[in-house]
């Protein structure tokens, strides 16, 4: 029977199921349409294609149920178990703690189940101990894997009864039962693919050269011979790509990954280091989407390049994967693309577009059989139809991160940049859109810039370059508008890079973007505003945005009904509102009211994060806070303190922290019940959120009634515990917040002493290297030292030598609070003398030369306290303190006057006493 019917599967399911056959009905159709001159050939082709599609539909429907019949064998199960054993053991990186057979005896057929159980198709029984669940007793049988009743307590026999669903293999079963197994398995698979990519990399060049050589030798005389060669080449490539390989890594090694990330962070852009995120952008960093699929996306947030330039690992279809029929059809179409004439090429491209190119299987099928090389080569031809077809396919499949990288590796970007000069507008649009999809990682953006792409993309923004200027911006030719939209879309992707931002500015992009912002085309406005949003992180752009009166149009578009446009406008305002003049412009153009009204729409979290961010930055100006109170935005913000994602909470709390600098807002927040949710947020771990919430709590603590609520909710203890946080910004913000808490607490001294080890913790923070931490801790010590018992305790902890060590600083903020702390600490025991012994007096005299009045006042008060010691007076006199203090006696600041006069008086008394002693 086998000799008469050598391919029964193809006989039963049809020739399309026979994947090893080179010919197909699709190729036959293409051959006929190119060889016959029948006028009805096109109709015949369409009919044949429809019948072909029906046949495929029926085939897929039958395969759907055929694939559900799972049959395992002892060899497969044994290999899976041995492999899992290799990666099991103690430690967080292992996939399992242990995996063992219940029986050591193996029958000749490879099974370990008793013979009477083998009759039921059972192969063996396994005891598996995952990291996060109890030990599982599993039955492996020909039908699949399932959980059994486990071993009995009395005799240790196995309860063979099935306790759950049947899974196709052991790995799938364990992924469902153990989250830790699934997580560690994914890590191992990713690391293995990275190693395989490194191993396969040297082999890629010869394959490409071989394919290129074949394509160049195409002639009409040896077409038949060439097609056979191409098919054989395709077989060899698929055989190599579909070789089975382990999904797990044989040794756990994280050094490769760490070094690659470190190298990526140390790369430079055109001789300039990567621009780091400024301190004020802590909230902006939280606006990055959390979706893992968007690690390379740049469609809404702004961040430094190093945050999103980790290229995804290469992924090839596995040999044991269930490949759909589309995979093989695309393979055959690509083969025909390599050897067909112009008409056949166009038809093949159209046929390829009929597939669902948004499906990853189709995207990778084109890549795996060498289709990307052919599509990119078609861009170098003179045939416009071939270029259009190729770009349409590349545009669709370049949404896949792996395809993006492959396009760059194959040199596709320089070709697309050249197409931007084409006289055909449709080619310009398609090339720009494809560049927009590809340029989402650093290497691609750099390639666009190096090949002159930025200048050409900026030129696309000029809608009037090929036509006369219309009376109104909305009357531009639709084709010109589409070209400009695609150019803006590509610039949006490219503007992730600092060097590209500079290139856009130098190419004259800002005035053109400002002009396009006046149009009424929403599809145009979204990429335009997105580009401005990205670029507004640079000071030069913010100045240009003000000069081009862009803020007015951003405010106008806040009233649009398009949520995405509203989001990007709010984000652009968020970026620009660091500047005081911009905040005033937003208010003058009526931007605060739409921002306040958008707070009521909480369904779209990305837009809500952008809106709250804009409100946060606008709230830095007191006039804007008054307007927000008028629009009842404060009550809405308080309501957003619960049940919101962290990226929203960061901005909401930041806005409340700024608004609560005013007394009316503090009272309003307390009456709305906002103190408790703020205190509850002190237990979080998000750095940016903790910085903002400590500032907000500290601002509320200025009001005594709010302070009572904070104390009752144990908020002061939570703030004190944040002094142990590893992040310097959190430490500093917590220390600043403690100052008003200590000032306004009823029994502050006793409250501070009640925190075990709290005073020692504060003193030890004086050893920090961060200037902001030091200044905030000095301010806290100033308030702590108002209580004599606490002052005695911190003196015992060595506060005087540590404060003295900080005296040689040029930072005026630190000087101000350090001088205040020294002044307070002088009021206990011999501290005045000790400061002199640790040489803290002379540096303090030099503080009087500062231009900051606060430094003058605090220094004069410290010198007044220190001048009660004779040796300190001598040191002051030697360092010229008298002359500097005399100038300050006439200051309009009364406290400064009194301190300067008192210090001079002490020095003069010492001088008189010395004179009397010498000349009695």
Q: What would the pLDDT profile of 88-132 be if each residue is shown by its tens digit?
A: 888 878 888 899 998 888 888 889 988 888 888 899 999 999 988
∠ CA 572-693-297, nearest 5°, is 35
Alpha-carbon gap, residue 412 to 373, rounded angstroms: 9
State the pLDDT at residue 26: 56
Contact yes or no for 862/826 (Cβ under 8 A): yes
Q: Residue 172 corresponds to which tokens in the numbers above? A: 């799938």
pLDDT digits (tens, 9 = 90+) for 131-163: 888 889 999 998 889 999 888 776 678 888 888
What integer pLDDT is reported at residue 910 of this predicted model? 79
User: What is the DSSP-derived secondary structure letter of residue 88?
Assistant: B
Distance CA(802)–CA(358), nearest Å, equals 64
Residue 557 pLDDT > 60: yes
Question: Residue 442: is its pLDDT beyond 80?
Answer: yes
Per-residue pLDDT at 470:
43
**What is the Cα gyration radius of the chain?**
37
Give the per-residue pLDDT at 804: 92
7 has a pLDDT exceeding 70: no
Across all residues in the chain, what is the average pLDDT? 79
Please state, as a whole number, how many other Cβ atoms lie within 10 Å of the Cβ of residue 590.
Answer: 14
pLDDT of residue 271: 38
Q: CA dihedral defined by 510, 515, 519, 522, rounded to 10 degrees?
A: -10
For residue range 836-871, what is the model confidence (pLDDT) as tens digits?
Answer: 899 899 999 999 888 888 999 999 999 989 988 888
Mean pLDDT calculated for residue range 905-918: 73
Q: What integer is the mean pLDDT of 550-554?
A: 89
Q: Which of 4-8, 273-277, 797-801, 869-873 has the lowest mean pLDDT?
A: 273-277
592 falls in which pLDDT band (50, 70, 90)? very high
Q: Which residues contact 87 (CB under 8 A, 6 or more apart)?
A: 94, 95, 96, 188, 248
Give the pLDDT score at 65: 58
- The pLDDT value given to residue 741: 93
The pLDDT value recorded for residue 466 is: 45
Angle 486-492-494 (CA atoms, 0-180°, nearest 5)? 105
Task: List the strands of the sheet with 136-141, edge to edge.
Answer: 98-101, 122-129, 136-141, 144-151, 158-162
Confidence of residue 893 (pLDDT cuts 50, 70, 90): confident
Q: Which long-range contacts (CB under 8 A, 24 or more apart) does 146-150 make?
A: 146/173, 147/173, 147/177
| Among 621, 368, 617, 399, CA closest to 493 | 399
Distance between CA atoms of residues 555 and 21, nearest Å = 63
Task: Count Cα neighbours of 21 within 13 Å in the Cβ-side half-sphere.
Answer: 14
pLDDT at residue 752 greater than cutoff 70: yes
* pLDDT for the residue numbered 727: 93
pTM metric for this prediction = 0.64
Q: Which DSSP symbol is given to 311?
A: P
CA distance 893 to 277: 39
Is it the case that residue 359 has pLDDT exceeding 50? yes
Q: Looking at residues 882-908, what average pLDDT do you find?
A: 85
pLDDT band at 87 (very low <50, low <70, confident <90, very high): confident
User: 847: closest CA among 858, 834, 835, 838?
Assistant: 858
Interval 21-36: pLDDT, tens? 444 555 555 565 555 5
Residue 146 and residue 157: Cα distance in Å, rounded? 17
What average pLDDT does the segment 408-417 reach?
92
Q: Token pair for residue 451?
A: 């090949």
For residue 34, give both structure tokens.
């190119």
Mean pLDDT of 773-791: 93
First-to-last alpha carbon distance for the chain, in angstroms, is 137
Q: Identify which has the larger pLDDT, 257 or 343.
A: 343
Query: For the residues 543-550, what does the mean pLDDT come to?
Result: 84
CA dihedral 402, 405, 406, 410 (to 10 degrees): 170
Residue 816: which pLDDT band, with cuts at 50, 70 and 90?
very high
Q: How far is CA 622 from the centre of its chain?
A: 32
Distance (Å, rounded) from C-alpha 432 to C-alpha 472?
26
Per the rule left: phi > 0, alpha: psi between -120 and 50, beta: everything else, 829 is left
**Which of 688, 692, 697 has its CA nearest to residue 284?**
688
260-319: per-residue pLDDT in tens?
433 444 333 333 333 333 333 333 333 333 333 333 433 333 444 443 454 555 555 554
**3 state DSSP class of 140:** strand
Q: Choose between 19 and 837: higher pLDDT.
A: 837
DSSP E strands: which ranges in 20-171?
98-101, 122-129, 136-141, 144-151, 158-162
């Amino acid at each position: 029977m086998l000799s008469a019917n050598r391919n029964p599967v193809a006989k039963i399911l049809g020739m399309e199921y026979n994947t090893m056959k080179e010919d197909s009905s699709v190729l036959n159709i293409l051959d006929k349409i190119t060889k016959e001159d029948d006028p009805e050939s096109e109709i015949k082709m369409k009919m044949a294609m429809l019948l072909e599609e029906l046949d495929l539909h029926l085939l897929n429907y039958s395969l759907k149920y055929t694939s559900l019949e799972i049959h395992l064998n002892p060899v497969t199960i044994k290999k899976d178990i041995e492999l899992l054993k290799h990666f099991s053991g103690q430690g967080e990186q292992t996939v399992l703690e242990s995996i063992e057979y219940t029986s050591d005896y193996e029958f000749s057929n490879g099974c370990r189940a008793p013979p009477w159980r083998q009759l039921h198709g059972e192969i063996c029984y396994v005891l598996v101990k995952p990291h996060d669940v109890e030990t599982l007793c599993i039955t492996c049988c020909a039908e699949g894997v399932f959980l059994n009743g486990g071993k009995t307590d009395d005799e240790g026999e196995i309860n063979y009864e099935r306790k759950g669903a049947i899974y196709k293999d052991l790995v799938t079963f364990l992924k469902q039962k153990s989250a830790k197994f699934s997580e560690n398995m994914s890590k191992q698979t990713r690391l293995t693919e990275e190693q395989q990519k490194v191993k396969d990399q040297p082999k890629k060049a010869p394959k490409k050269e071989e394919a290129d050589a074949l394509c160049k030798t195409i002639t009409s005389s040896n077409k038949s011979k060439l097609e056979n060669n191409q098919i054989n080449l395709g077989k060899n490539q698929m055989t190599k790509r579909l070789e089975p390989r382990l999904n797990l890594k044989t040794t756990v090694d994280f050094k490769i990954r760490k070094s690659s990330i470190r190298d990526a962070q140390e790369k430079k852009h055109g001789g300039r280091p990567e621009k780091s995120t400024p301190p004020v952008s802590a909230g902006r960093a939280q606006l990055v989407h959390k979706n893992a699929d968007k690690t390379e996306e740049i469609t809404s947030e702004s961040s430094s390049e190093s945050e999103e330039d980790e290229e995804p690992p290469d992924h090839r279809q596995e040999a044991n994967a269930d490949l759909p029929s589309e995979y093989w059809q695309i393979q055959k179409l690509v083969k025909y693309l390599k050897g067909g004439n112009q008409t056949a090429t166009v038809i093949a491209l159209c046929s390829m577009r009929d597939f669902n190119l948004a499906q990853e299987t189709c995207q990778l099928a084109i890549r795996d059989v060498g289709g990307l090389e052919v599509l990119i080569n078609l861009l170098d031809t003179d045939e416009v139809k071939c270029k259009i077809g190729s770009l349409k396919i590349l545009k669709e499949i370049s949404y896949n991160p792996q395809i993006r990288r492959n396009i760059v590796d194959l040199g596709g970007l320089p070709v697309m940049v050249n197409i931007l000069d084409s006289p055909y507008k449709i080619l310009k649009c398609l090339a720009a859109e494809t560049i927009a999809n590809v340029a989402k990682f650093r290497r691609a953006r750099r390639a666009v810039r190096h090949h002159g792409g930025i200048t050409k993309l900026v030129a696309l923004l000029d809608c009037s370059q090929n036509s006369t200027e219309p009376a109104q911006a909305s009357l531009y030719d639709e084709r010109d508008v589409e070209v400009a939209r695609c150019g803006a879309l590509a610039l949006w992707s490219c503007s992730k890079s600092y060097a590209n931002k500079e290139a856009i500015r130098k190419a004259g992009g800002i005035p053109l973007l400002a002009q396009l912002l006046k149009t009424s085309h929403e599809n145009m406005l979204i990429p335009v505003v997105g580009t401005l949003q990205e670029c507004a992180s640079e000071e030069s752009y913010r100045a240009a945005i003000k000069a081009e009166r862009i803020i007015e149009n951003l405010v106008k578009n806040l009233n649009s009904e398009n949520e995405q446009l509203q989001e990007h406008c709010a984000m652009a305002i968020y970026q620009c509102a660091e500047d005081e003049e911009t905040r005033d412009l937003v208010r003058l153009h009526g931007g605060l009211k739409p921002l306040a009204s958008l707070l009521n729409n909480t369904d779209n979290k990305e837009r809500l994060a952008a809106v709250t961010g804009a409100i946060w930055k606008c709230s830095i100006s007191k006039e804007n806070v008054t307007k927000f109170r008028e629009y009842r935005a404060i009550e809405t913000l308080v309501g957003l303190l619960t049940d919101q994602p962290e990226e929203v909470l960061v901005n909401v709390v930041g806005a409340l922290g700024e608004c609560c600098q005013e007394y009316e807002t503090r009272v309003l927040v307390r009456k709305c019940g906002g103190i408790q949710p703020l205190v509850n947020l002190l237990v979080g771990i998000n750095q940016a959120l903790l910085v903002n919430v400590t500032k907000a709590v500290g601002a509320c603590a200025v009001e005594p009634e709010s302070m009572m609520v904070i104390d009752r909710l144990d908020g002061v203890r939570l703030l004190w515990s944040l002094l142990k946080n590893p992040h310097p910004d959190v430490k500093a913000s917590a220390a600043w917040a403690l100052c008003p808490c200590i000032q306004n607490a009823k029994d502050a001294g006793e409250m501070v002493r009640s925190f075990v080890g709290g005073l020692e913790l504060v003193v030890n923070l004086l050893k920090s290297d961060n200037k902001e931490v030091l200044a905030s801790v000095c301010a806290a010590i100033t308030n702590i030292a108002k209580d004599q018992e606490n002052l005695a305790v911190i003196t015992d902890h060595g506060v005087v030598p540590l404060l003295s060590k900080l005296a040689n600083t040029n930072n005026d903020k630190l000087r101000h609070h350090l001088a205040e702390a020294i002044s307070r600490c002088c009021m206990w025991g011999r501290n005045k003398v000790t400061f002199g012994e640790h040489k803290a007096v002379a540096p303090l005299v030099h503080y009087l030369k500062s231009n900051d009045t606060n430094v003058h006042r605090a220094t004069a008060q410290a010198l007044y306290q220190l001048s009660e010691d004779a040796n300190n007076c001598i040191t002051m006199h030697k360092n010229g303190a008298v002359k500097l203090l005399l100038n300050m006696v006439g200051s309009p600041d009364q406290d400064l006057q009194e301190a300067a006069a008192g210090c001079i008086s002490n020095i003069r008394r010492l001088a008189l006493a010395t004179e009397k002693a010498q000349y009695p």
